[in-house]
Structure 1
């Protein structure tokens, strides 16, 4: 098992289309994540499947106060 950032994955492991297909999402969603510089971590499991998680602070949104 290996975990890399979204940027690292796209630079060395595959394309946005490949990642989208593996995650079951649209390529445009991967593109938006990349352009927004979201902190997405891609986990490459030993059995070949790929998992993605976003790292966000809690609370993720700033209060209106």
Structure 2
């Protein structure tokens, strides 16, 4: 098992389309995650399966005071 950033995955392991298929989402969602510089970690398991997770602050959205 190996955990890397979204940017590292796209540079070394595959395309946005490849990752989207592996995660069961659309390529545009991967593109949006990458462009917005979200804190996405990609875990590549020994069997080749891929999993993604994000760490977000609480509350995730800033409120207007």
TM-score range for the pair, normalised by the shorter chain length: over 0.9
Give the count of matched residue pairs: 65
Give SS of 2:51's match.
Answer: strand
Distance 1:22 1:52 in 2: 10
> Which runs of no fewer than 5 residues in structure 2 stay unpaired?
none
> Which runs of no fewer than 5 residues in structure 1 stay unpaired?
none
1:15 counterpart residue number? 15
1:43 counterpart residue number? 43
TM-score (norm 2): 0.93
TM-score (norm 1): 0.93
Distance 2:46 2:4 in 1: 14
Runs of 4+ in 1 over 4 A off after TM superposition: none
RMSD between superposed Cα atoms in Å: 0.8
